[in-house]
């Protein structure tokens, strides 16, 4: 199965040349291995702290939020953990603006990773799908939005899912909106929690630890761990 310019599966186009698909799959594999090695063994890892990233963003001045969102986008594609990038965003920009910049960066990164997987790996994946697996692939295409939304809400590993969904026949629009809605709650909870603790630390007023805002942020953070169980229970009763 081929794909159109928008990244959607197109069943009307002829099957791709298997050799060409295999070459693209090897490029895709090389990209993934290279990304992991780059982050693990290059100086990039030294910038993955709040202090180092803050110093880097200070050089960007007014454009610091844009630079951070670009860093987040690249980080997602380089397999840098999303929780680390989200925590850094909240620590640097605070609970509210941190949420905005993190969500935009996460969406851009998720979209780019999906398109990389779709462009380089979908043809080869499609050539391996037999009759037994084809029905599942078609089901994902029919119920793409619901499938993506559910997996996001149960905290399926972020980056592997971004690339992995590109290998399926899910439509890009379903993937985009399912991701946008699915990560909204978790992103807000995590950035609000980290941002609130950062504000207390920066102010030096430790009495604020007993404030409603802190207890509310802790409550949201704890509640986030029960979201997957609640969703699974609801789905089981539906």
Would residue 172 count as lying in a domain?
yes
Give DSSP secondary structure letters for 121-159. HHHHHHHH--HHHHHHHHHHHHTHHHHHHHHHHTT--HH
Would residue 231 count as lying in a domain?
Answer: no
DSSP secondary structure string, 55-68? HHHHTTGGGHHHHH
* Full domain range(s) for residue 109: 17-186
Number of domains in the chain: 1
The answer to whether residue 102 sits within a structural domain is yes
Query: What is the reported pTM?
Result: 0.80
Q: Is residue 5 part of a domain?
A: no
Q: Give residue 80's Cα distance to chain centre.
A: 10
CA–CA separation, 198 and 79 (whole Å): 25
pLDDT at 221 over 50: yes
The whole-number pLDDT of residue 195 equals 82
pLDDT in tens, 13-72: 555 577 888 899 999 999 999 998 888 888 887 888 888 888 889 899 999 999 999 999
Q: Does residue 89 lie within any of the structural domains?
A: yes
Task: Please check whether residue 102 is in contact with residue 70, taking contact to mean a CB–CB distance below 8 angstroms.
Answer: no
Tell me whether residue 216 is in a domain. no
Q: Is the pLDDT of residue 180 over 90?
A: yes
Tens digits of residue pLDDT in 162-178: 999 999 989 999 999 99
226, part of any domain: no
CA angle 101, 106, 110 (to 5 degrees): 155
Residue 2 pairs with which residues in a beta bridge? 10
Evaluate whether residue 209 is within a structural domain.
no
The confidence score (pLDDT) of residue 17 equals 74
Q: Within a 10 A sphere around the Cβ of 134, how many other Cβ atoms? A: 13
């Amino acid at each position: 199965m081929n794909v159109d310019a928008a990244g959607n599966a197109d069943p009307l186009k002829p099957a791709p040349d298997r050799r060409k698909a295999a070459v693209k799959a090897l490029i895709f594999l090389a990209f993934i291995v290279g990304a992991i090695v780059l982050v693990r063994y290059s100086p990039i890892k030294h910038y993955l702290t709040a202090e180092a990233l803050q110093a880097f963003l200070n050089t960007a001045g007014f454009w610091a939020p844009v630079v951070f969102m670009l860093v987040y986008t690249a980080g997602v594609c380089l397999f840098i953990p999303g929780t680390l990038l989200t925590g850094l965003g909240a620590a640097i920009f605070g609970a509210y603006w941190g949420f905005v910049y993190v969500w935009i960066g996460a969406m851009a990164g998720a979209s780019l990773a999906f398109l990389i997987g779709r462009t380089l790996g979908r043809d080869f994946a499609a050539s391996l799908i037999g009759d037994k697996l084809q029905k599942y692939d078609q089901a994902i295409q029919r119920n793409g939005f619901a499938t993506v939304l559910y997996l996001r809400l149960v905290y399926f590993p972020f980056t592997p899912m971004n690339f992995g969904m590109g290998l399926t026949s899910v439509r890009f629009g379903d993937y985009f909106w399912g991701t946008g809605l699915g990560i909204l709650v978790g992103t807000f909870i995590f950035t609000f929690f980290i941002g609130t603790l950062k504000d207390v630390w920066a102010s030096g007023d430790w009495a604020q630890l007993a404030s409603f805002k802190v207890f509310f942020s802790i409550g949201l953070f704890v509640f986030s761990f029960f979201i997957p169980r609640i969703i699974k229970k609801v789905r089981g009763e539906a």
